[in-house]
Amino acid sequence: MNKRHPHRRSVLASLAALAAGAGSARAEDYPSRRISLVIPFPAGGPHDVIARPLAQALTASLGESVIVENRTGGAGGMLGVRDVARATPDGYTLLFGSVSTQAVAPALYQDPGFDPLTSFAPVATVSSEPTALLGAPHLKLGTVAELVAYAKANPGKLNCAAATGTLAQVSLDLFKLATGANVVFVPYKGGAPALTDTLGGQVDLLITTVSIVTPFIRSGQLKPLGVMSEARVPQLPEIPTMREDGFDVVSYFWTGVFAPRGTPDAIVGKLNGAINAALASDAVREAILKLSSQPKGGTPAQLAALVAAEVPKWARVVKESGTKVY
């Protein structure tokens, strides 16, 4: 038996080498057919608006069609995210994810069906834009500092609209934790009805991403109080950050591309290069900048680090604020 072991080890080593070689060949030939870029939300939303020009650019550079698929269902977009997590790790099924899918939903839902830290191979960050706090037309307060002082002196008199189960909701929680402001959360099924009621004066405040409200800020229909970012938004330089008012409140809506865990590094690397090249193109950059968002790019490791920082951050906010976990 002992004499046969070296031969067996040699055969196993040869098979492993052949398998590795076959994997390298597949990576070199990638892609050879259509790629699905899954968006776990309905068409027309911020994920969709950014992903579609990116998919067009990737189609041109990779030589195979990159098709956007809106796979909706499940709270927080979790159905589409689970689909990608369970897909074959060959680079042909990708997730266009975000802070909402990778950090907020796992914090708000007890059993999302995937692990944001281990179920995916991060490919590249695509975009980033801050969350903003805005006032309805009737609001007399002009700054975040004034708002916080009023909310502390008049607990429960101000209310704020935000879409349930989203970055907007947990951003409101973060704002309340950081400032001590007593503001009543008014839940909405989506960002659109929350915006409509704020414009109509049914609620006092609105928290949402900058891209959704930029036209209403410029038209004077909404009163911008502050952005939750480290620096002012280039497209809206007149709006101060909350840090300028002395409150450490930072919340970004970022997007990125993810592959299922186990996708070969060579394929991830090829996709990363193509995404970075697309983000440098005029067409994709302009599409993102029009949303008051910023093109990002970078390495898979940088996206992995972003997710690793965001997951515990929003889990802490949900826990400390006592927000309902579903």
What confidence tens digit (pLDDT) does each residue in 201-242 have? 999 999 999 988 999 999 999 999 999 999 999 889 999 999
* pLDDT score of 191: 85
Task: Return d(Cα 326, Cα 230) in angstroms, integer.
Answer: 31
Residue 93's nearest CA partner among 55, 38, 40, 56 is 38
- Cβ atoms within 10 Å of 183's Cβ, excluding its own: 23
Whether residue 31 is preceded by a cis peptide bond, meaning omega within 30 degrees of 0, is yes
DSSP for 49-107, written as a single string: HHHHHHHHHHHHHHSS-EEEEE---SGGGHHHHHHHHTS-SSSSEEEEEEHIIIIIHHH
Q: Which residue has the higher pLDDT, 182 or 9?
A: 182
* Percentage, residues of the chain above pLDDT 70: 91
* pLDDT score of 11: 40
| CB-based contact 46:211 (threshold 8 Å) | yes
Architecture per CATH, domain 130-245, reads as: 3-Layer(aba) Sandwich (3.40)
Q: What is the mean pLDDT of residues 62-75?
A: 88
Query: 294 has which bridge partners?
Result: 128
pLDDT digits (tens, 9 = 90+) for 3-61: 444 444 444 443 444 444 444 446 789 999 999 999 998 887 778 889 999 999 999 99
* pLDDT score of 243: 95
* Percentage, residues of the chain above pLDDT 90: 76
When pLDDT is cut at 50, 70 and 90, the band that residue 155 belongs to is very high
Domain ranges of the chain: 33-129+252-321, 130-245
pTM: 0.88
| Homologous superfamily of domain range 33-129+252-321 | Bordetella uptake gene, domain 1 (3.40.190.150)
Q: What is the mean pLDDT of residues 134-161?
A: 96
Identical fold at 33-129+252-321 and 130-245?
Answer: yes
Give the SS3 label for residue 130. Answer: strand
CB burial class (10 A; 0-12, 13-18, 19+) of residue 197? Answer: middle
